[in-house]
Amino acid sequence: MIFVFLSAYMLQANAIVLKTIARTPVADTLLNIIAPEFTLKDLNGNTVRLADYKGKILVLDFWATWCVPCRQSFPIMKTVMKKYKDDPDVKFLFIDTKEIPDPGKVKKFLSDNKYSFHVAFDDTTSSTFKNYQMPGIPSKYVIDAHGMIRYQELGLNTRKTAASLADELSVMIERVRSK
């Protein structure tokens, strides 16, 4: 009897916590962490460095083709990218990580899903994933024009709508712009 009561209590408490998390707005406090430099190769074999984005707001998205939450977040990223497509001060870079780089596989995935993402590869010799100290993927970072990480987001909150998640990322970008 006590077990049933405690189980019901824990389920109610968990539901309250989950509802609170789902309503949590974008944090007002910006992070102030120097973004680790990286040098990677993109889908076309070109070198991509963090320094290439100096003076721009950069949204980094670490992902992998096998990662279901990563793939689920892409329509959200596509929406936000569309919003900023004519803004020369906001850039997006998708870093394929935690798998052996396979440009053919990634190009097919992007083509099949009509994504026009700029993708770079964090291969097994790169320490980018480790340097960004992320416990998993997907992981997103909003980096300001001075190379400072201002927001970090781990995972995909499936309790929120795609529209609200796109709005939250837009709010992060705008807050970084206004600082």
What kind and span of H or E run contains 139? strand 139-143
| pLDDT value of position 125 | 67
pLDDT for residue 16 is more than 70: no
Residue 14 maps to a domain = no
> CATH number of the domain that 54 lies in?
3.40.30.10
Residue 97 maps to a domain = yes
pLDDT for residue 152 is more than 70: yes
pLDDT digit string (tens) for 35-83? Answer: 999 999 999 999 999 999 999 999 999 999 999 999 999 999 999 999 9
Residue 102 maps to a domain = yes
- Answer yes or no: pTM beyond 0.75: yes
Mean of per-residue pLDDT scores for the chain: 85
Residue 157 maps to a domain = yes
pLDDT for residue 19 is more than 60: no
Residue 13 maps to a domain = no
Q: In the chain, pLDDT over 90 holds for what percent of residues?
A: 70
Residue 95, CA distances (Å) to 81, 100, 109, 121, 176 in order: 15, 12, 14, 6, 21
The count of domains in the chain is 1
Residue 106 structural domain: 28-178
Residue 75 maps to a domain = yes
pLDDT for residue 24 is more than 80: no
Type of residue found at 48: V
Asked if 94 and 120 touch (Cβ cutoff 8 Å), the reply is: yes
